[in-house]
Amino acid sequence: MSGIPTHCPYCALQCATTLHPVDRPGAVEVQPRATQSYQGGPTNMGGLCRKGWTAPEVLTVPDRLTTPLVRDAAGDLVPASWDEALDVVADRIRALQTEHGNDAVAVFGGGGLTNEKAYALGKFARVALKTANVDYNGRFCMSSAAAATNRAFGIDRGLPFPLADVAGAGAVLLVGSNLAETMPPAVSHLEGVRGSGGLLVVDPRRSATASLTEDGAGIHLQATPGTDLALVLALTHVVLQEGLADTAYLADRTDDPDALFRSTASWWPERAERVTGVPAATIRRAARALAAAAPVHGGAGAFILTGRGAEQHSKGTDTVTACINLALALGLPGRLGSGYGCITGQGNGQGGREHGQKADQLPGYRSIADPAARNHVAGVWGVDPASLPGPGKSAVELINELGTEAGPKALLVHGSNLLVSAPRLASVRERLASLDLLVVADVVPSETALLADVVFPVTQWAEEEGTMTSLEGRVIRRRAAITPPGEVRSDLAIFAGLAERLGSLPFPTDPAEVFEELRLASKGGKADYSGITWERIDAGEALFWPVPAEGHPGTPRLFADGFATPDGRAHVVPVDHRPVADDLNAGARLYLVTGRLLQHYQSGAQTRRVAELDAAEPEVFAQIHPRIAAQLGVSDGRPIRLRTARGSMILPARVTADVRPDTVFVPFHYGGAGAVNELTNDALDPVSRMPEFKACAVDVTVAGLPATGVPA
């Protein structure tokens, strides 16, 4: 049996796989597909990580949701028919909107939804509900990089080049990305640069990725949390002041080269050393290594890649902008074998932010405030452009208004586990509990689903058809290998059922039909899918957008002939460093940073249910440096208390020199008492509206003893 070709359900690498149904109901076996062609997916080079190998287990977990649930008068979630559950939701939506207006209902989506679901969710919010209140969890992931690339290049595609291009580079600067644990198959593309000693990793921890720089393979720049911006400004200072910049490129392809010099002139390495803790000599060495690989110096090519460690800050957009400015100084964007890119995290993080589930967007990555965009999309939908609501609130701002007098009274959640993934969880829990109606569509009883008034059981990856868009902007096919269990339905069926009950125009439930509509709605937009037919991708093509016509081959590499700005030039945006919003103080002398583990994914709702993965990392922990452990008298495994301005938690210490002495690291995949987002800060980036997950002040004490804390 040849099997069914599809892709892994987890990260945006979207590793190519083949599924083989087995005798057990609902079960499949998975094998990676080893292919070098873009049609199949060269990103994984025939490999899978532990999460990918074990993904089929989530299909048959004992607590899989298989029937709708409705909370009864006694407060229990009890089984209900689909008609009963949909009627309850529609009736309560209608009543709330009659009393409080259309914006009384909000919708929250996810970066793991297929393109068809993400598109339908945005359309459902604006056409069936007529609400402006729609956003998604991608606001927690890629929004800072999206904002920075849009204002610099006029377009946002995570990687504007195939990932395979990185394999030929002479230097790669990774800022805040732990690829070795989050996307292990991607590490194969770093072997060449490691061999030449050109892997440069910015991370406050000696992560699995940072350790790849050892034995002459590169440089680990172990910066103080929250200081990546200062470090990149210093790297750019060295490039400019030592005459290493591509001045011809700056003159020809950027709008204001002088701004680049002015904004970095005061960031000499010795000043940056005092801020970042990275030695000035190391900063110079890294800048020179990156420059030596740049095309202007005859190098093999250089890439600058950012991840959540750089982006999940209240200055995340500016940090990414600084990385883009460094890339411009070296003449990298638009050059074959070089460039800047964002390592998109969620499985459909790229496609999920392109087609309308973001508060300010319509399909095709269009602005909802643009009259021409509204006219085009309304024409595809068959509605009056004036009936479409305007821009809504970003995720955190939306959550903070739930249940308030002026805020939404109902929330529909599709593909997100807010009670683990959002910052400042005590406030999130309070806001969700204050709602008149909480509806959650999920595959398992996640922490958020267990709080809901109505729970809809929905299909998983191996049970559904559709398309996804990888971190490279490649549109690829997801295929069903098995029939969903019980009464499980697609999110598309939920939108259709509610729309019918609310008196809206019909919503199609066939993914191919939805994709055809998406094509038309995206036509002429930045993310133009209009030339990508269902037949082309079903036949094996995986096309890089934009694809503006059916005969178009796709666009693997952007910017070769110009940028998507009005003047065709990259825009230099001057930025400057500033401290984290919740900086160290007398009562909290260490930095708390959060991140991911090899064994788990996102909120852990899926991977914590896989026995092999759960056994490998069954509980949350806090990495602390031996110096801090000695000061506290703490040994490995001893319970410690972490306290920030937002809350406290107790968890076992893991003593390791892999973290800086001023840093405490906690993975964010755990729920309940292990949810570190109880402590994280919801301060927002002023441009992207990204919350500052990645750095805040924390006090550390021994659990059960007087709170003496870490001495100064």
DSSP for residue 124: I
Last residue of a domain, one of 509, 544, 579: 544
Percentage of the chain modeled with pLDDT above 70: 97
Question: Does residue 136 contact residue 358 with C-beta atoms inside 8 Å?
Answer: yes
The pair of structure tokens assigned to 524 is: 């002429």
Q: What is the per-residue pLDDT for 541?
A: 78
Say yes or no to pLDDT of 36 above 50: no
Q: Is residue 21 part of a domain?
A: no
Q: Is residue 37 part of a domain?
A: no
Amino acid at 421: S
The pair of structure tokens assigned to 485 is: 């269990």
Q: Is residue 29 part of a domain?
A: no
Task: Provide the sign of the torsion angle of the four alpha carbons 698, 703, 707, 709, taken in this order.
Answer: negative
Residues in the chain: 712
Say yes or no to pLDDT of 533 above 50: yes
Q: Is residue 31 part of a domain?
A: no
CATH number, domain containing residue 371: 3.40.50.740
Domain that holds residue 420: 69-140+348-544
Q: What is the per-residue pLDDT for 34?
A: 66
Last residue of a domain, one of 342, 371, 400: 342
Domain shared by 316 and 443, yes or no: no
Domain count, the chain: 3
- Label residue 511 by pLDDT band (50, 70, 90): very high
Say yes or no to pLDDT of 43 above 80: no
Instruction: Dump the DSSP string for 252-314.
Output: HHBS-HHHHHHHHTT--HHHHHHHH---HHHHHHHHHHHHHHSGGGT-S-EEEEE-HHHHSST
Amino acid at 376: H
Say yes or no to pLDDT of 677 above 80: yes
Q: What is the per-residue pLDDT for 26?
A: 84
Q: What is the per-residue pLDDT for 39?
A: 41
Domain shared by 486 and 594, yes or no: no
Say yes or no to pLDDT of 493 above 90: yes
Q: What pTM, to 2 d.p., does this model score?
A: 0.96
Q: Is residue 494 part of a domain?
A: yes
Last residue of a domain, one of 342, 364, 392: 342
- Label residue 35 by pLDDT band (50, 70, 90): low
Domain shared by 439 and 538, yes or no: yes
Q: What is the per-residue pLDDT for 1?
A: 46
Q: For the chain, what is the mean pLDDT?
A: 95
Residues in CB range of 101: below 8 A, 6 or more apart: none
**Residue written as token pair 């990856």:** 461
Say yes or no to pLDDT of 706 above 90: no
Say yes or no to pLDDT of 710 above 70: no
Domain shared by 378 and 527, yes or no: yes
Q: Is residue 414 part of a domain?
A: yes
Residue predicted with more confidence, 540 or 455? 455
Give residue-wise pLDDT tens across range 445-490. 999 999 999 999 999 999 999 999 999 999 999 999 999 999 999 9
CATH number, domain containing residue 612: 2.40.40.20
Helices and strands in the chain, H and E counts:
23, 26
Give residue-wise pLDDT tens across range 251-293. 999 999 999 999 999 999 999 999 999 999 999 999 999 999 9
Q: What is the per-residue pLDDT for 486?
A: 95
Say yes or no to pLDDT of 37 above 70: no
Give the span between the Cα atoms of 659 and 650, in whole angstroms.
Answer: 19
Domain shared by 534 and 658, yes or no: no
What number is the average pLDDT over the span 299-303? 98
Of 12, 137, 26, 111, whose CA–CA distance to 457 is shortest? 26
Beta strand residue intervals within 326-465, DSSP E: 339-342, 361-362, 366-367, 410-414, 437-442, 454-457
CATH number, domain containing residue 149: 3.40.228.10
184 upstream amide cis, omega within 30 of 0: no
Say yes or no to pLDDT of 591 above 50: yes
Give the span between the Cα atoms of 649 and 665, in whole angstroms.
Answer: 13
Q: What is the per-residue pLDDT for 705?
A: 62
Which of 36-50, 118-132, 694-708 has the least mean pLDDT? 36-50
Say yes or no to pLDDT of 640 above 90: yes
Q: Is residue 430 part of a domain?
A: yes
Question: Does residue 457 contact residue 65 with C-beta atoms inside 8 Å?
Answer: yes
What number is the average pLDDT over the span 149-171? 95
Q: What is the per-residue pLDDT for 455?
A: 98
Domain shared by 686 and 632, yes or no: yes
Q: What is the per-residue pLDDT for 44?
A: 76
What number is the average pLDDT over the span 587-600? 95
Give residue-wise pLDDT tens across range 561-583. 999 999 999 999 999 999 999 99
- Label residue 711 by pLDDT band (50, 70, 90): low
What number is the average pLDDT over the span 143-171? 95
